[in-house]
Structure 1
């Protein structure tokens, strides 16, 4: 019973396996024999576009210059004129190269080698004159005998010098041929492999070679010569790229196989199309359809058509919508606004450095009665506009309840500006950056990016300045307190010691402790005034010192010794912070480089190849990709900042 059902089952399985192997192979063979086309060297001028068209696997007797060529751009069909490319290798035309991997192992010695040489020479004579041919020899190791060249005499000499010797390093030779092709100009690049036996000495495995051919989309045809070829390996090589396996057992069959491979090349033709006014200045997908001998092939490429100035003339058809450049008056106005904003920023943020007496007079002047400015002076109009702008900004800041918060932020940064002055300065810088981006990039980019980037840049500057001031305060604090310790040991009170510290110290120690002493003169406790100074400078060391002073006031003790101990602790903490900063320097530098790399490359590409990155901010998909990239960079920056930050 079991044997009765076994035979039909085995027969069915055999049929299925045979179909599983034969059908894909037949399908691949049919695909390899299909007509295909390629477009290259596209040139656009006002009102027209020109490109070169090549075809592969033309039907027998068909000529590309006689084929029916239809060109479409978007939903429009363009009028096309086809003509042969003069000389076969026009300037700017497609580059076509082929490398023949020639099996010259010892098994080819004698008549097979002579037949293979004859087939290679007939192949060189059959392909168009612009096709450059190279030669790689298969032996004990791969050897490049000739780089691809259009000189047929040089190729004939290289073929004539081939001698049969050594084993068969077929896979190494195919890899070498692909490397030779990779060094050639972009265009139609192909491999033609002749093999009469299995690989015996390659260092490259078949799996790695097949993976490389598939990754590089190699075009590879294989000619299996004789009865001892490794059919499975050769089929896998052909399937890894785009090609087919041709078999030959005799000299004439070998020559016909080479000539069949040569027929895949066709002489290029030049196609000129007229571009209607509706497509002028637009980037669109251009599709080329070729009909020859009852077969059809398509090729497509993206083309940015040139703007046609004639489209705006009288009687012209509908013109493409283009965005004009900025008006002429925008340059002087924008330049003046930018210069004024920069001068205002420099004058407000830098300003002349004033001495201690000048700063004290300025502080007292804030409480003095304001006198009306003389009328009719030369600067009365300017001062009037400036005063009106400041008054309006002051009302806005106070109405939104941000006056106190901005005051604290400016004090932390050590900036001698009032909240409404700082707000007006940020508005001026935002306007200047908007105008600058509008002039250099585009008005849309200026409006979208200018205000936000300038506003955020000013905030970053203030935070950076506050952080530097706080760091300087923390670095100067131990040495400054050592002076207070000496004064206390000499018999001075804490207030007198701090007054001496204010006179002898530099910014920001003198400013913060001077303000604390000034607050004590209007009734604030010294500890509370020092605590506020610690909050303004974000200094935990000073907060702990104030806590120690409070405890000493309650329980008693030697204040000089307490402060001396606190100073030693501060110095040890500062030393530890510097040590940690040195250890994390490499990580911080790596983070800076990784964050700046995509930004720098994007800016560089925008400057030197603006048309290459234009789809990122003109196409919907590009805008989505750009937004995702910005979010990923921000996430990476946040993650790295947390990673390299070590609390001490």
Structure 2
């Protein structure tokens, strides 16, 4: 009995070893090859999908990089003197501006010398008056004009919407804004109508308007017009929604201004208190403050205090400056 069992086990072992050496059957081989082909095809499809996704990501990154570079160049161009003069609505050119600045700086320097101030004090005052004061005045005028333009811009959108609904073309609606709207809105739309009359497309005309008026509302207006020209759609409805959004931005801006009014007043008081106290003491007791201007140590203290005050004003300005 044991010998029979040992023989059976030996036969099974030899048969299994033989099958292992002989390999798979033809049907199993075909199944294995088919499975390998399917797996290989899936791997190739997966690699192709990954390659397509990576190419799309690379293209998206390139587009974002180009847009950032374009925005940086536009922002740099909008901060130039010639752009600032256009934004302020001044008719002088860059050369005249620099001549006026140089004359103002030289006048302040000569006045400081006549009053008996030191040479470096006169140079500092002349540099501030010739380089800083005119740029500050032009920047203030430009910001005031842009703000006035943005406040009237939703009314212009409403005029275009009503004109389109009544059957007027877009150019005629723009012409109505140039004739009826207040300045500076009327002047900018007049230039836009003149540009389109000379063969310039509306997109390029809006781009030129944005160079003269670098406000986000103008960019939104150009985007709406560009999308409508390429894809079609109801322009009146799109401009009506844009007018609503611009008014909502204005309300949000005014709300933030009201909420931050206390912080702005505190920053103004804190920033103006030290120089105000120094001026009052200098008028009431000149001998008490004279060592700060005559003694070298006092001048060092004045320089350090001015540096710290400028740093504090800059930090407070960044804290209370909200952009929407």
Same fold (TM > 0.5): yes
**Partner residue of 1:454 out of 116, 129, 132:** 129
Give the match for residue 598 of structure 1: 274
Q: Larger % of strand: which?
A: 1
Give the match for residue 107 of structure 2: 432
Local SS of the residue matching 2:287: helix
**Structure-2 change in CA distance of 1:440 and 1:505 (3 Å):** farther
**Structure-2 change in CA distance of 1:610 and 1:445 (3 Å):** farther
Kindly indicate whether the alpha-carbon contact (under 8 Å) linking 1:616 and 1:623 is maintained by their aligned counterparts in 2.
Answer: yes
Q: Deviations over 1:192-238 (max 9, x none)?
A: xxxxxxxxxxxxxxxxxxxxxxxxxxxxxxxxxxxxxxxxxxxxxxx
CA distance in 1: counterparts of 2:234 and 2:298, whole angstroms: 70
Q: Deviations over 1:144-198 (max 9, x none)?
A: xxxxxxxxxxxxxxxxxxxxxxxxxxxxxxxxxxxxxxxxxxxxxxxxxxxxxxx
CA distance in 2: counterparts of 1:444 and 1:463, whole angstroms: 29
Q: Deviations over 1:250-307 (max 9, x none)?
A: xxxxxxxxxxxxxxxxxxxxxxxxxxxxxxxxxxxxxxxxxxxxxxxxxxxxxxxxxx
Give the match for residue 473 of structure 1: 149
Question: Does 2:319 correspond to 1:643?
Answer: yes
Kindly indicate whether the alpha-carbon contact (under 8 Å) linking 1:534 and 1:542 is maintained by their aligned counterparts in 2.
Answer: yes
CA distance in 2: counterparts of 1:608 and 1:461, whole angstroms: 32
The within-5 A match list for 1:255-270 is: none
CA distance in 2: counterparts of 1:460 and 1:472, whole angstroms: 18
CA distance in 2: counterparts of 1:529 and 1:500, whole angstroms: 17
Kindly indicate whether the alpha-carbon contact (under 8 Å) linking 2:83 and 2:211 is maintained by their aligned counterparts in 1.
Answer: no
Question: Does 2:229 correspond to 1:553?
Answer: yes
**Partner residue of 2:165 out of 489, 504, 511:** 489
Give the match for residue 87 of structure 2: 412
**Structure-2 change in CA distance of 1:405 and 1:640 (3 Å):** closer
Shift of 1:531: 2.1
Local SS of the residue matching 2:80: helix
Local SS of the residue matching 1:646: coil
Question: Does 2:79 correspond to 1:421?
Answer: no
Give the match for residue 463 of structure 1: 139
Question: Does 2:198 correspond to 1:522?
Answer: yes
Question: Does 2:301 correspond to 1:622?
Answer: no
Local SS of the residue matching 2:126: helix
Shift of 1:405: 3.5
Local SS of the residue matching 1:612: helix
CA distance in 1: counterparts of 2:120 and 2:95, whole angstroms: 28
Give the match for residue 5 of structure 2: none
CA distance in 2: counterparts of 1:459 and 1:405, whole angstroms: 10
Give the match for residue 580 of structure 1: 256
Normalised to the residue count of structure 1, the TM-score between the two structures is 0.36
Question: Does 2:305 correspond to 1:634?
Answer: no
Shift of 1:571: 0.5
Shift of 1:558: 1.1
Shift of 1:453: 2.2
Structure 1's unaligned 5+ residue stretches are: 1-401
Give the match for residue 185 of structure 2: 509
Shift of 1:513: 1.6
Shift of 1:539: 0.9
Shift of 1:475: 0.6
The within-5 A match list for 1:27-106 is: none
Kindly indicate whether the alpha-carbon contact (under 8 Å) linking 1:595 and 1:633 is maintained by their aligned counterparts in 2.
Answer: yes
Shift of 1:438: 3.5
Normalised to the residue count of structure 2, the TM-score between the two structures is 0.71
